[in-house]
Amino acid sequence: MNLKPYIYNNGFRKRYHICSQCGSKAMRMDPVGGFQAPDYLCMECGSVERTPDWELIIGHEEEDEATEAWISGEDYVALLRLPLAKLN
């Protein structure tokens, strides 16, 4: 799945918003208007969330197209804690 349309840049880091219903990273931002926070629509299950969880994208900031191979911050930390024997 091409996740490029679902990457959000807050000016410091790129991140994905995560659907609390199905765990999808395909969350589209829908501005509500005025000074209200935007809604986020899940493109997988159709749920609407006001403040979804998010995860930072670690590495590959120079690439224009996101792929499933991009690793999340939590996955990166978990990978660093694995013993080397389990990686082989």
Number of domains in the chain: 1
DSSP 37-71: PPEEEETTT--EESS-EEEEEES-TT-SS--TTPE
Tens place of pLDDT per residue across the chain (88 aa) = 678 788 887 777 888 899 999 988 889 888 888 888 889 999 889 899 988 888 888 765 545 555 555 666 666 666 666 665 544 4
* Structural domain span for residue 26: 4-87
Rounded CA gap, 15 and 4, in Å? 11
- pLDDT value of position 84: 53
What are residue 54's DSSP bridge partners?
17
What are residue 72's DSSP bridge partners?
57
pLDDT, the chain, mean? 76
Global pTM?
0.59
